[in-house]
Amino acid sequence: MIEAELIEKKTAKDYGFFKFKLSEKLENPDAGQFVMLKALDEPILAKPFSIYSYKNKNLTLFIKRVGRLTGKIFSSPIGEVFYIRGPYGTPYIETISREKKYILIGGGSGIAPLNFFSELYPELVYKKLYGFKGGYIRELFEEEQSTLVIEEESGKTVVDVLVDVYSEEVGILACGPIPMLKNLPHDSYVSLEAVMGCGIGTCKSCAIKTKEGIKMVCKDGPLFRKGEIQWEWI
Amino acid sequence: MGVDLSVEIFGLTFKNPLVLASGPAGFGFELQQYLDISRIGAITLKTITIMPREGNAPPRLVDTHGGIINSIGLQNPGIKEFVRTIAPRLKDLKTIKIGSIAGFTIEEWKILGEEMDKIKEIRAIELDLSCPNVEGKGMWAKDEELTQEAIKAVRESTDKPIIAKLAPDVTDIVKVAKKAINAGADALSIGNTIEAMRINIETGLPFLKLKTGGLSGPAIKPITLARVFRVAEALKVPIIGIGGVMNWQDALEYAMAGASLIGIGTAIMVDPQAPLEILHGIESFLRQKGIERFKDIIGIAHRGGF
């Protein structure tokens, strides 16, 4: 595993940006891929985190505090060392069509891979909609203020806003909570989150049911066509 | 001074005592990109059933202090598909392949044994008598008579070495182990995950869709280690010690308790490269102690130690 030293952090309540300096380079990380990150001892398993940004051995993750590992990351001082391996997962660009431009729809920490996508493929981005519940999130973002859709400010979710800007000529590339993904148009590309064990397709923990049978989010995804997924199984 | 890590049991020579446990390594092909499997003593393939199984609905995994709880539910393509698409590729894995099977009836055990017997690349067959994650199916290893019947059925269907994978959470594992050997098992895997659960206090519901799962990882090591020790004390039979081996120190404890081979499961999920670090650690330890052969420490705890 690669050592990842926490060198910067910026948090607002339960969300935060965390920048790590890696002891080795990641091998050609692409948008939609994730790293498995673990703490030295507890919890035992590494957990998947989408890449928000990567440059010169500097890896930035955008994380929501949900469990023991993310709790530990939030409470860690600068200089704390974690361990990562990856990148894993199929890059979005290998799944989507390059013939279209995309509305990037993110919900909460789901904005992370979309940001990396917009960094690597700006020519494929039509519009960005990053949804959050509370306005406090604004303090974390400097340049992306106009892309933020804050539910407590406007009373609208990203899916509500999408209805106003959607046209069939553009594609949808989304990452966020399951209820948000379920409300998107049938032909959207949705990036799924799942509890993972290995991250490389062997342990079968992150299964989803598709029209073509069981697939693994880690290896076959994380991006799928919305219409391909048997949502009732999730 | 070179250290000899090889182990000979049931007619096979393993280049070292590490076995990738059934489950976390899948069929080895995906893992091979991240771990040079030719450096590992053996791989136990994912358990195969007669019919294809989708496995359980997610979530299938939750962590807990000192371990993880899974309920994968024996997701596998079924024996027909295994024979057709997986078996021909097994030669690409340059290590000893141990097949793993799980029957739901005596007849199924027999058929699975026969099918595995035909696959040249499979050098031994493990009977998964102890998976806790199949809804509606009792665990064979919890009943010594059923254990015996399943082993007899497979014994009649193959001449290959057979390994009975026993459950650690039984009242008297020595009793089950004796029955397994009497029924024709050549070796024992001790043990498997232990039934466990977590409840999400926000929803008031179990975390796992199947409610309970199997606990693995460091939390179970002292438990399975004691089972290995007790069986090794009572029986002269090859044992594969499995349960919470996360590092070389854990692996050595199993060897000293009497395990000839050591299974690695959870540690592969945490870090696919972990087995190599474990091997390196075992080798360094033996060198420092001036012990030339790994096999000399197998069961040393029963012989008065160093």
Interchain contact B266–A (C-beta under 8 A): yes
DSSP track, B179-223: HHHHTT-SEEEE---EEE--EETTTTEESSTTS-EEEESGGGHHH
- Asked if the model's pLDDT at residue B135 lies above 80, the reply is no
Nearest CB partner across the interface for A207, out of B31, B75, B266: B75
Reported as a pLDDT band with limits 50, 70 and 90, residue B2 is: confident
- In a domain, residue A128? The reply is no
| Residue B70 to residue A197, Cβ atoms within 8 A | yes
B44 contacts B273 by C-beta, under 8 angstroms? no
Interchain contact B271–A (C-beta under 8 A): yes
- Asked if the model's pLDDT at residue B134 lies above 80, the reply is no
- In a domain, residue A15? The reply is yes
- In a domain, residue A26? The reply is yes
In angstroms, the separation between the Cα of residue B180 and the nearest Cα of chain A is 28
Residues of B marked as catalytic:
131
Measured torsion, CA atoms of residues B295, B297, B303, B306, in degrees rounded to the nearest 10? 140
Contacts of A194 in chain B (CB under 8 A): 58-59
Mean pLDDT of chain B: 95
- In a domain, residue A165? The reply is no
Lowest mean pLDDT among A163-167, B186-190, B278-282: A163-167
Computed on alpha carbons and rounded to an integer, the radius of gyration of chain B in Å comes to: 18
Q: What is the pLDDT of residue A167?
A: 82
Q: What is the mean pLDDT of residues B138-155?
A: 89
Question: Which ipTM value was assigned to this complex?
Answer: 0.92
Sign of the alpha-carbon torsion through A218, A224, A228, A232: positive
Token readout for B40 is: 């590992």
Q: Divide the 234 residues of chain A into consecutive groups of 10 and give the mean pLDDT of each group.
A: 97 97 97 97 94 97 96 97 98 95 97 97 96 95 91 92 86 96 94 96 95 96 96 88
CA-closest candidate to residue B95, choices B47, B44, B37: B37
Domain count across chain A? 1
| Residue B61 to residue A195, Cβ atoms within 8 A | yes
CATH number, domain with residue A42: 2.40.30.10
Best of A66, A198, A230 to disrupt the B interface by mutation (most B CBs within 10 Å)? A198
Query: B219: nearest CA in chain A?
Result: A44
Q: What is the pLDDT of residue B131?
A: 76
pLDDT for A85-120, tens place per residue? 999 999 999 999 999 999 999 999 999 999 999 999
Contacts of A111 (CB under 8 A, 6+ apart): A52, A62, A130, A175, A176
Q: Please give the interface size between A and B, counted as residue pairs whose CB atoms are below 8 Å apart.
A: 97
Q: What is the pLDDT of residue A41?
A: 87
Best of B45, B48, B62, B63 to disrupt the A interface by mutation (most A CBs within 10 Å)? B63
Q: Are strands A207-210 and A213-216 parallel, antiparallel or unpaired?
A: antiparallel
Interchain contact A134–B (C-beta under 8 A): no
Phi, psi torsion values for A55, nearest 5 degrees: -155, 130
B151 contacts B164 by C-beta, under 8 angstroms? yes
- Asked if the model's pLDDT at residue B120 lies above 70, the reply is yes
Cβ–Cβ contacts within 10 Å for residue A24, how many?
11
Interchain contact A40–B (C-beta under 8 A): no
Contacts of B67 (CB under 8 A, 6+ apart): A44, B196, B215, B216, B217, B218, B219, B220, B244, B266
Contacts of B273 in chain A (CB under 8 A): 1
Nearest CB partner across the interface for B272, out of A83, A200, A204: A200
Instruction: State the residue range of the domain holding A58.
Output: 2-88
- In a domain, residue A141? The reply is no
- In a domain, residue A57? The reply is yes
pLDDT for B218-262, tens place per residue? 999 999 999 999 999 999 999 999 999 999 999 999 999 999 999
| Residue B63 to residue A202, Cβ atoms within 8 A | no
Higher-confidence position of A164 and B165 = B165
Query: What angle do helix axes B221-234 and B248-257 make, rounded to 10 degrees?
Result: 30
